[in-house]
């Protein structure tokens, strides 16, 4: 079988991936961007992005990603809807299997991002899309949630953002956090806590999501972590916003990672395998911002270009 040979394959199509594509495209490398199951990445599921420089009024997350893609495509980047199932980084050119088809690449930029972390409860899994969701902007407007009490779990910027968004639909939004102070940035925390429809529930975790027997969310059983007291809060929806896990399963045992699965770059964006670079949330447990992902995508693009130039003398 003839295997298609690429200069640079970029795995992932979020801010990091498309910025790496922009830089490698402008270096005439015609990068191929494999979009993954969620083209545009997690940012496409947010509403307005207020902290990406250059957009004083904010910009819709989906629109930002469409613009990044257009900008990279203008210089010759190509997008392919597909998921990488396997990689072989043991020899040059590197091998990839994309939806069953083989592909070869001289350089790879990993920009696979991160996915929503789960609570790990039985009811969470069984009631997913039956009241349990990980994305208020995707699901918040569903009739199921209209004028109903809703629960958001988490204390970070995402939880605050989800809770604020849900005040448009729910009758009341309980913000359930395991500590007594939010992790969110001051501006987001202040906005959330001053919104009358948002009721914080401190020092509490969700012990159970009800009701698997009825095959829909009817409430949550909460446990106060300080007193161990339990209570039931009725609600029609549970929005889980407790952070993310890096999408790096594919590279386990091959690329150096920390204990949480974040890829550890050796120098700049270079990994322990020469010719394989990493950018964005899959390698960043500290900042995890759209602009830092874009910055790292730029660095990975430049480093991939230099690597290929050195190989070809
Ligand atoms: P995050 O900052 O990691 O916050 C996760 C929250 O979930 C924390 O409050 C954490 O509690 C809680 N949590 C984690 N595991 C839990 C569990 N098993 N059970 C219950 N609670 C749990 O994640 P994020 O809010 O998704 O934000 C990720 C990054 O994106 C951040 O850098 C954030 O600034 C950025 N972001 C920015 C914006 C914005 O600027 N508008 C919006 C969204 C995200 P503890 O606090 O106790 O650890």
Per-residue confidence (pLDDT) for residue 254, from 0 to 100: 97
Cβ neighbours around 256 below 10 Å, total: 12
Q: Is the C-beta atom of 242 inside 6 A of ligand 1?
A: yes
> Of all residues in the chain, what percent carry a pLDDT higher than 90?
91
48 alpha carbon – ligand 1 mean position (Å)? 18
138 is annotated as an active-site residue: yes
135 is annotated as an active-site residue: yes
pLDDT tens-place string over residues 13-29: 999 999 999 999 999 99
pLDDT tens-place string over residues 265-292: 999 999 999 999 999 999 998 888 899 9
Please give the backbone phi and psi of residue 245, each rounded to the nearest 5 degrees, phi first: -120, 135
Distance between CA atoms of 13 and 127, rounded to whole angstroms? Answer: 29
42 alpha carbon – ligand 1 mean position (Å)? 14
- Mean pLDDT score, 158-177: 97
Q: Is the C-beta atom of 118 inside 6 A of ligand 1?
A: no
Across the chain, mean pLDDT equals 96
Structural contact between residues 29 and 9, judged by C-beta atoms closer than 8 angstroms: no
Q: Is the C-beta atom of 288 inside 6 A of ligand 1?
A: yes
Burial class (CB in 10 A: 0-12, 13-18, 19+), 127: buried
pLDDT tens-place string over residues 36-58: 989 999 888 777 888 899 999 99
271 alpha carbon – ligand 1 mean position (Å)? 27
Index of the ligand 1 atom closest to the CA of residue 185: 34
- Mean pLDDT score, 60-69: 96
List the strands of the sheet with 132-133, edge to edge: 132-133, 237-240, 149-153, 172-176, 198-201
pLDDT at 175 over 80: yes
Per-residue confidence (pLDDT) for residue 1, from 0 to 100: 66
Distance between CA atoms of 56 and 301, rounded to whole angstroms? Answer: 27
Q: Which residues pair with 87 in a beta bridge?
A: 96
Residues of 15-42 as b/e, b for ≥16 C-beta within 10 angstroms?
Answer: bbbbbbbbbbbbbebebbbbbbebbbbb
> What's this model's pTM, rounded to 2 decimal places?
0.83
Strand, coil or helix: 162: helix
**Omega within 30 of 0 (cis) for the link into 93:** yes
- The closest of 226, 162, 154 to 183, measured between CA atoms, is 154
Per-residue confidence (pLDDT) for residue 286, from 0 to 100: 86
């Amino acid at each position: 079988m003839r295997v298609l040979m690429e200069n640079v394959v970029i795995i992932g199509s979020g801010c990091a991936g498309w910025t790496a594509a922009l830089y490698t495209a402008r270096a005439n490398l015609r990068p191929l961007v494999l979009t993954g199951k969620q083209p545009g990445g997690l940012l496409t599921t947010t509403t307005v992005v207020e902290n990406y420089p250059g957009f004083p009024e904010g910009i819709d997350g989906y629109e930002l990603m469409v613009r990044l893609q257009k900008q990279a495509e203008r210089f010759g980047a190509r997008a392919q809807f597909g998921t990488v199932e396997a990689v072989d980084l043991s020899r040059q050119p590197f091998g990839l299997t994309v939806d069953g088809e083989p592909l070869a690449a001289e350089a790879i930029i990993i920009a696979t991002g991160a996915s929503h972390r789960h609570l790990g409860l039985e009811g969470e899994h069984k009631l997913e899309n039956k009241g349990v969701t990980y994305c208020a902007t995707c699901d918040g407007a569903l009739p199921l949630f209209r004028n109903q009490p809703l629960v958001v779990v988490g204390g970070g910027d995402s939880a605050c953002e989800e809770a604020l968004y849900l005040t448009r639909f729910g009758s009341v939004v309980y913000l359930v956090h395991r500590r007594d102070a939010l992790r969110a940035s001051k501006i987001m925390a202040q906005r959330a806590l001053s919104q009358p429809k948002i009721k914080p529930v401190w020092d509490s975790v969700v012990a159970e999501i009800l009701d698997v027997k009825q095959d829909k969310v009817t409430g949550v059983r909460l446990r106060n972590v300080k007193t161990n007291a339990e209570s039931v809060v009725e609600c029609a929806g549970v929005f889980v916003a407790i952070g993310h896990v890096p999408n790096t399963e594919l590279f386990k045992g091959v690329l150096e990672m920390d204990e949480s699965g974040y890829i550890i770059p050796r120098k700049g964006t270079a990994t322990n395998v020469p010719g394989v670079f990493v950018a964005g949330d899959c390698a960043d447990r500290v900042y995890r911002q759209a602009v830092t992902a874009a910055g790292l995508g730029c660095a990975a693009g430049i480093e991939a270009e230099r690597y290929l130039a050195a190989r070809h003398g």
